A and B are shown apart, each in its own frame.
Chain A
Amino acid sequence: MHSVISKTKLKMIKNREKLRWVLQRLSALLLLIFFAVHIWVFYFKLERPISLEGLQEIFVHGKWIIFYICFIALMLYHAFNGVWTVLTDKNPSKYYKKNWRITLCVLALILILISAWNLILLGKV
């Protein structure tokens, strides 16, 4: 019985790792598309030199706020997934992994919330 549970757990961990691996590649490809749009906005849509008025013209539209929140969330997912890979490279203890998982998730959530708030403010100031 114990061995069946262990095997199931091991399979679950392996599947989770596989999913994380796939999502890291998928997020990288999506980031390329998001980044291309970001370059287009900042180099071709926005007037140079960059001013608050210019940025306001973009962030007054909800669609651009949503776009940038998605971009930032995806970027943070990709970044922290990479950090997680580096941190757990040598298969550390469960306790260490749990602590880092919580830290990275909380940090990502805080950064997304702050960024979303900043983008909304940028369209209003």
Chain B
Amino acid sequence: MKKSNSLNHYRLNFRLGMFSFLSHRITGMILVVAGIVMLLGLSVVMFGAFAFDELLITLELPFFVFLAHFLAIVLFWHVLNGIKIILIDVFKLGRIQEILTSLILIAFILGIIFYFIYVFPSSGVA
């Protein structure tokens, strides 16, 4: 029998649960990279007040504002998915995990709509 690789395994088993599992890992990795960049970026403060002010001005550029919104959305999905995982682990809800994933998908869409109505316009991009 031909041994299937990881990508093939994910492709062949791509259901709601697999989507949830993969998206949690992908969003997690994005957040790890972004978090490290943010923590290192803060080091500009070592070069004095002027350099830090320049950093704050740079962060107001549309590209960085867009990036911040993207990260907020990624974080929101990661948090919702994380809450689902904890609920499944603590209350042993493995049997209804597909329903829970559907629920968090709905909560995510509603949250994004709320975000784009109330938070996005006040950020200076729109």
A, B from the same assembly: yes
Check B43–A118 contact: CB distance below 8 A. Answer: yes
A79 to B28, CA, bound (A): 7
Check A75–B52 contact: CB distance below 8 A. Answer: no
B1 within 8 Å of A (CB atoms): no
A72 within 8 Å of B (CB atoms): yes
Interface size on B, residues (CB 8 A): 24
B12 within 8 Å of A (CB atoms): no
Inside 8 A of B45's CB, which chain A residues have their CB?
Answer: 118, 121-122, 125
A114 to B46, CA, bound (A): 10
Check B28–A121 contact: CB distance below 8 A. Answer: no
A52 within 8 Å of B (CB atoms): yes
* B1-57 interface (Cβ within 8 A of A): 25, 28-29, 31-32, 35-36, 39-40, 42-43, 45-46, 48-49, 52-53, 56
Inside 8 A of B82's CB, which chain A residues have their CB?
Answer: 28
Majority secondary structure of chain A interface residues (helix, strand, loop or mixed):
helix
A62 to B53, CA, bound (A): 23
Residue of B nearest to A86 (CB): B25
Check B39–A72 contact: CB distance below 8 A. Answer: yes
Check A32–B39 contact: CB distance below 8 A. Answer: no
* A63-87 interface (Cβ within 8 A of B): 72, 75-76, 79-80, 82-83, 86
A4 within 8 Å of B (CB atoms): no
Residue of B nearest to A115 (CB): B39
A50 within 8 Å of B (CB atoms): yes
Closest 9 CB pairs of A and B: A79-B32, A118-B42, A125-B49, A121-B45, A82-B28, A115-B39, A28-B82, A118-B45, A122-B45
Some 25 contacts from A to B, beta carbons below 8 A apart, are A25-B89, A28-B82, A29-B86, A49-B56, A49-B60, A51-B53, A51-B56, A52-B56, A75-B35, A76-B35, A79-B28, A79-B32, A80-B32, A82-B32, A83-B28, A83-B32, A86-B28, A86-B29, A111-B36, A111-B40, A114-B39, A114-B40, A114-B43, A118-B46, A125-B49
